Amino acid sequence: MSNKIKKMKIKNIMEVIGSCKSATQVGKSKDGSRIHVVYKKANKRDDQAKKEATVSEQLGINEKHFTGRFDHVWESKAKEIILTMLVELEREDKNGKPVYRSFNLKKGELLAIKKMGD
């Protein structure tokens, strides 16, 4: 039996997202539901992603794991569903503040999403 986590189906992702409170001011407020996401990127990591992966490793956190506040879900011009969240733990900008991350549900693999509270 394999321990590999399989990609979640869009239907199941939307059920979890449907129970989440989004930010009252998209991209500005920090009042969305607290969520935990496990996401595997499909493309190569840029320098910022490599730096964040190093910090995650030092903290003992898997680089695919993100914890923070749900911001919103939107559809790109290419009709791809994008989940955006404010990552509070292992990722931060050069000033030490939390950063927003967007997860493309078509290009990458959303392996898990869990609502942890409001």
Domain total in the chain = 1
pLDDT interval class at 1 (50, 70, 90):
very low
Is 6 inside a domain boundary? no
5 in a domain, yes or no? Answer: no
pTM of the model: 0.81
Task: Give per-residue pLDDT as tens, 79-106.
Answer: 999 999 998 866 666 677 778 889 999 8
Residue 13 resides in a domain: no
Task: Flag whether 39 is in a domain.
Answer: yes
DSSP string of the chain, one letter each residue: ---PPPPPPHHHHHHHHHTSPPPSSTTT---SPEEEEEEE-SS---HHHHHHHHHHHHHT--TTEEEEEEEEEEE-TTS-EEEEEEE-SS---TTS--EEEEEETTTSEEEEEEEEE-
Residue at 22 is within a domain: no
CA angle at residue 29 from 48 to 64, to 5 degrees?
Answer: 35
To the nearest whole number, what is the mean pLDDT of the chain?
85
CATH number at residue 105: 2.30.30
The answer to whether residue 55 is domain-embedded is yes
Nearest to 63 by CA among 27, 21, 7, 111: 111
Q: Domain limits at 101?
A: 27-117
Identify whether 45 is part of a domain.
yes
Asked if residue 67 is part of any domain, the answer here is yes
